[in-house]
Structure 1
Amino acid sequence: MICVLGDVMLDKYTYGKVERINPEAPVPVLNVVEEKYALGGAGNVANNIASLDEEVVLLGVCNENGNFGMQMVELCKKKNIKYHFITDGRPTIVKHRFVALGYNQQLLRVDYEEKHPLDCNYSKMFVDKIVELDPNILIISDYAKGVITEDLMEDIKKQFKGRILIDPKPDNIHLYENVFLIKPNLKEASGIVGRGIKNNDNDVEKAGLEIVDKYNANVVITRSEKGSTLITLDNEIHHIPTEVREIHDVSGAGDTYIATLGYALSKKYDLVDAVKLANKASSIVVGKVGTATVSLDELFDKD
């Protein structure tokens, strides 16, 4: 079983037709055709794990009594995701996208969120639940919205003895010393080391070694079409290519990557083979439109 802890979000999509310009202002008028909801943020990581038929528990802040919170709960139930939500007064985070049909063009995004650190009393509830569940793998999905705090990470590292995988935000990197693995993309790795990183082996190796040395964790840097670079605690370096596919949408690919990495490690893959499987999963998902997942049949090429 895998636990995912982090900033859970609801992705709302309003699709419509654009046939005229607003006479009140030079903006298009969207005639609404349909609305859809999807799990976003840490919820998308959990959804990717569930799509691989692995037991997963999602932990995060969500106001279950509000309309958006109820949508989140319904999606979790539909996707067979167990959940443990805490309400601390802030609204459920929602990313509302307005999309023009025919053009598949996003016209506007409206965010509903309040960003502030989670109180330590609520953090303790999460830690107690993780200890109770005792998962094989704990994935921290950090979008820097306030759920992941210093108190929370200190308590997790003291009380949870399993493998912790981090999908980090650079501003919070100081929280992640001594975990099992940190997975930044190239932009995040640049923010962590404080300089731009060119997408070549030498530059990525140098940055990765710095992160490993400073934070005492295995590091895998995802590099888009160039695959991933894994740098282990023993300073072994593995450049792992990915299969080049037609890219339709990169949104959520990082969530698919760390979800598959956690899945593989829970199935006793070694780290190199786990990264290879995660590479494959993300290369599949970017060929799909919107926030998508990968199935076991796709991952293992079953007809």
Structure 2
Amino acid sequence: MKIVSSIKDLKNFLALEREKGKKIGLVPTMGALHAGHISLVKRCVAENDICVVSDFVNPTQFNDKHDLETYPRTLEADCALLEPVGCDYVFAPSVAEMYPEPDTRVFDLGPVAAVMEGPRRPGHFNGVAQVVSKLFYIVEPDNAYFGEKDFQQIAVIREMVRQLNLPVHIVDCPIQREADGLALSSRNTRLTPEQRQKAPVIARTLKESTTFVPAKSVQEVIDFVVNTINQVPEMKVEYFEIVDGHTMQSIKNWSDTTYPVGCITVYCGEVRLIDNIKY
């Protein structure tokens, strides 16, 4: 496994692999790797000849300076997880390497980016589109792997790929969970022991809500989820929306879509946790 910090070096290495007819897969990450990321890497290794994992905390997608400063950076530990599962290249550039000058590109990502996370994290999806498009231009992957925990982000990236006409196949991979149901996230390490005990109520409530479909209305299911979670001390639902899984637009009736997905964001103390479930 090679650890590469230079764009030029990585492009040279991958050009040689491509000359040999190798198929290249990319797993974009912001480091602080956990079993969820590793599940993506294993799939990438299985489906491609070469696996590249980017390990880069991208400043342009943070709209909260404190969140950027406190985001864990654990490259050494990340590499220790990546080597045994068959990763070939870890791309760990500096901010100056990725952004030698400010990226002023503004993407019009349309309706998929205008809801849920979009208005609540201004500029976030534009920053995601900036860094992921840069990674796609650098690596030129055949396949790129993303976890479904960031469900809306996948829709945004698909839209960006469509607009830029990039020849990359986006592969979405199922959420990985702890034994008690909590969706794996780098942010989970910021929960206090007490908060960590409470946080699985999110997944439990989402799972229970699926038993009400289609007998209860969309609004009744939303009310159940929000009220149940908000009853737990330190837990506060920021939003819970049931949307069409392709367009990200809210539905009012179950008949509005063949692909209903419930997307939720909950504050557990100061830690912002996201999850989703398919109905």
State the TM bucket, normalised to the shorter chain: 0.3 to 0.5
Which has a greater percent of strand?
1
Which has a greater percent of helix?
2
**TM-score normalised by L of structure 1:** 0.31
